[in-house]
Chains A and B, each alone.
Chain A
C-alpha cells in the first residue's frame, strides 16, 4: 500500500511566491507553470464519490464543452468531454474511463455541482539525483465562489507519493512539517468548499437511523422517527421537482411510505384527528408521486430488458421506449405542479407539526402514548411476523397471485417497524431478522413488479399500435412480455425456499426472544 497523500496548510499571509521560495530553500524541485482554474466540484446528492475516495470537477464555464476530471489516489486523472449541464447522469457521459469508473459508484444518481472554487495552482515535483520525480506537490490558493461573495479557503500544499519512493515521501513530509512548520489541513479542499457553500460534504443521508433508548415513551419515539422522515422528505423535494435524478423521487416516496407506516402501526399514540388528517394527506402524496416512479422503473430496467432479447428486437422496441418517455414527461409536469402546490406544502407542515407537537395529554385518545417503545413496537413486530408466518404457510402452488402480494405488503410493514424502531432493540437480532426478511421480500417484490410491468405494458398496446413503426414494436413486445412472465414464474419458484429461511424455527424463537410482547 502506498502512503496516503497529505494536504498541508501554508501559513496565513503567505502568497504563492513566498511559499515557493520557502519550499525551494529546503527541497530540490522541478517547478511547473501556474494556472488559474475556475471549476465546480461535483458529487452526488448523497456524497457517493467522496465516500468512494473519488473527486470530480469540471470547468465552471456554462457554454461550449468542458472536461470532467475524475481523481482517485493511485490512478491517473480520468477525463471526459461534456456539455456543461445542471446534472450529469452516467448514461449521458461519453463512453470511456470516467463513465466506466462512475457507473458502479453512482448507479442512478447524478453528478451535481456542490461548490465552485477559483484558484491559482502550481504543480511541483521533488527530484532525486537522477532528476526523477520522487514526490509530487502542488500549491493552490483557492477561493469559494458563493452567490453572496467569496470566501478564501487558505493556501494548501498537496503532497502526493510516487510509487516506490516511500523514503523520499517520508523525508519530504518531515522537512515540510518539522523544518518549515507546516500543519496538516484538517479537511480536504472539497469539504472546505462545500461547507463554505452551506452544504454537507458527506452528502445528504437518506437512511433513517434514530437511536432510541429503552423506555422511551412511544409518542416521543414516534415523534423522533417522524421528524427524521420529514427531514428526508424535505431534502428530496427540490431534486424531485427539478428531476435531477430518479433517486430524489424514490427517496421522497420511501419517506412518505414510512411515515404512513408509523401512523398506521402506532395507534393510540398520536392525537387522533391530526393523525387521521396526515394519513389522508400522505396517501394523496403517495398517489401523486406514483405514476412517474412506475415509469422510471420501466425506463431504468429498459437496457436490461432489451439486452435479454434477441439483438434485432431491441431497436424494434424503440417506439415503446419513446412512448414511455413521452408519458413520463407528461406525468412529470403533473408531479412538479403537485410538489409545488399549497396542498403538498401543507402536508409537509402537518407532518412537521405532528412530529414537533406537544404530546396530546389526553389519555383516552392516546392510551398507548406513554408505553415504552420496545413494548409497542416489539408487540407489533412479533404480531406482524407471526401473521406473515401463518399467511406464508397457507400459500401453495395453486394460491392466487394476490396471496403473495398481500404477504409482501405485510413484509413491508415488518421491515419498516424493524428499520424505524430497531434502535430500541439489540442490533444483531434486528439485522438478522431484516436480512431474512430481505431475502423473502426480494422474491415477492420481483413477482409483484413483473406483474405490474406486464399489466402496464399490456395497457400501452392500443396506444403503441397507433405509433409510427408501432406494429413492429407490438410484435417485439410479445417476447418482452414472455421474458417478464418467465421471470415472474422463476420468482414464484424461489418463494418456498426463501420463506422457509424466514419462518424457520430458530428464527421464530429469536424473534420472540428479542421483541417479546403479546402484541396489541
Chain B
C-alpha cells in the first residue's frame, strides 16, 4: 500500500480538497483507496457526509483498534474513509505515550495493508509529533502552495525540517492551490517556481467557486463537475502523484 499525505503547516490552503478529489480519482483508476481524515475539524469527513466519530477515539485507534471496524464507505465505489474524531486533537499526546511515537501512524496503516492499494492522509495544519509520524509513514507529501512569497518560505522550512530528520524523508510534491489568474503575482509564481525549485509541479488548482461549493454539495469536484478546469487540474495532480509513487 502506498501512502500519500496532503500536508501544509498553514491552514485553509486546499489540503482537504486535494485529499478528497485525489481519493475519488484514485478509486476511479481502480485503486482500493482509503482517506484518513486526521484533522479533528473533520472537513473531509463532512464532505463525504459521514459522522466525525470513531468509537474509542484516536487513543484506541492508535493503541489496538482494527481501523476497518470504524471505517465507512463513501458515495464513491472503492473509496473508504477512516473518519475524523474530535479526540484527534490529542493524538500528539497519545503518540508521545507510545514507545516509538514516530511509528504510530505506520502501525495503524499496517493493519490496512492487505485491504487497500493507496492511503491518503488529510493532515491538520501544524508541525508536531503527529506530522512527524505522518512523514515516517508517507511515501509522498503533497503540499499545496498559495502563490505567495511566504508560501515559498514555508515550503523551504518543511524541506529543511525533513532533511534534518533521522528517518529517510518522503518525496515532496508541491502544487499551486487557490490560484487567481487575475493576479500578476500568482501568474508569475506559477510560471517561474516549477523551474526554480525542485519538487514544485506546474499543477495549479484554480480559485473557483466550484471548489468552494464542495462544502455545500458535499461531493468532490471531479465527480460533481468533471469538466470544470478545477477538476482537470486535480486530474493533472493525480497523474503527477501516481507517477511519483510508481
Contacts and interface: CB of A to CB of B under 8 A. Distances in A.
Interface centre among A75, A131, A161, A165 (most CB of B within 10 A): A75
A165 B73 contact: yes
B75 A98 contact: no
A163 B30 contact: no
A419 to B, nearest CB: 34
A78 interface: yes
Nearest to A80: B30
A163 B27 contact: no
Contact of A164 (B33, B72, B77, B218): B72
B80 A78 contact: no
Contact of B78 (A77, A98, A132, A161): A77
Contact of A76 (B33, B51, B115): B33
A78 B75 contact: no
Nearest to A136: B77
Nearest to B80: A163
Contacts of B33: 76
A79 interface: yes
B28 interface: yes
Nearest to B69: A164
A163 B71 contact: yes
B150 interface: no
Contacts, number: 56
A133 B48 CA distance: 10
A165 B75 CA distance: 12
Contact of B49 (A76, A131, A161): A131
A173 interface: no
A130 interface: yes
Contact of A165 (B27, B32, B72): B72
Counting contact residues on chain A (CB < 8 A from B), the size range is 20 to 34
B155 interface: no
Interface string A352-390: 000000000000000000000000000000000000000
A97 interface: yes
Nearest to A162: B73
B79 interface: yes
Interface in B54-85: 68, 70-73, 75, 77-80
A79 B115 CA distance: 19
Interface string A251-281: 0000000000000000000000000000000
Contacts of A76: 27-28, 30-33, 77-79
A163 B131 CA distance: 28
Interface in A48-93: 70, 74-79
A130 B49 contact: yes
A125 interface: yes
Interface residues of B, number: 24
B29 interface: yes
Contacts of A132: 48-50, 75
Contacts of A70: 30
Contact of A75 (B32, B49, B50, B71): B32
A70 B78 CA distance: 13
Interface in B19-56: 27-33, 48-51
A77 B77 contact: yes
Contacts of A519: none
Interface string A325-339: 000000000000000
Interface string A219-239: 000000000000000000000
A94 to B, nearest CB: 12
A401 interface: no
A346 interface: no
Contact of B30 (A96, A162, A164, A165): A96
Contacts of A133: 73, 75
Nearest to B79: A76
Which of A70, A98, A164 has most chain B Cβ within 10 Å?
A: A164
B175 to A, nearest CB: 23
B238 to A, nearest CB: 14
A240 B235 CA distance: 44
A131 B27 CA distance: 21
A125 B75 contact: yes
Contacts of A97: 29-31, 117
Interface in A158-194: 161-165
Contacts of B28: 76
A405 to B, nearest CB: 43
A78 B30 contact: yes
B50 to A, nearest CB: 7
A98 B29 CA distance: 10
Interface string B202-225: 000000000000000010000000
A163 B32 contact: no
B119 to A, nearest CB: 14
B71 A164 contact: yes
Contacts of A125: 75
Contacts of A78: 30
A165 B70 CA distance: 10
Contacts of B72: 162-165
Contacts of A98: 30
Which of A75, A76, A165 gathers the greatest number of chain B CB atoms within 10 Å?
A76
A164 B29 contact: no
Nearest to B33: A76
Contacts of B115: 74
A170 B73 CA distance: 16
Nearest to B218: A131
Contacts of B31: 76, 97
Interface string A128-141: 00111100100000
Nearest to A72: B32
A424 to B, nearest CB: 42
Contact of B73 (A79, A130, A131, A164): A164
Max chain A Cβ within 10 angstroms of own Cβ: one of B30, B50, B51, B75: B30
Contacts of B117: 97
A130 B32 CA distance: 24
A98 B30 CA distance: 8
Nearest to B72: A164
B211 to A, nearest CB: 20
Contacts of B78: 75-77
24 contacts: A70-B30, A75-B78, A76-B30, A76-B33, A76-B78, A76-B79, A77-B77, A79-B29, A79-B30, A97-B29, A97-B31, A98-B30, A130-B50, A131-B49, A132-B48, A132-B49, A132-B50, A133-B73, A163-B72, A163-B73, A164-B71, A164-B80, A165-B72, A165-B73
A-B pairs, 8 with minimum CB distance: A76-B78, A97-B30, A78-B30, A163-B73, A164-B72, A162-B73, A132-B49, A76-B27
Given A76-B30, A163-B72, 18 more contacts: A70-B30, A75-B32, A76-B79, A77-B77, A77-B78, A79-B29, A79-B30, A96-B29, A97-B29, A97-B31, A98-B30, A133-B73, A133-B75, A136-B77, A163-B68, A164-B73, A164-B80, A165-B73
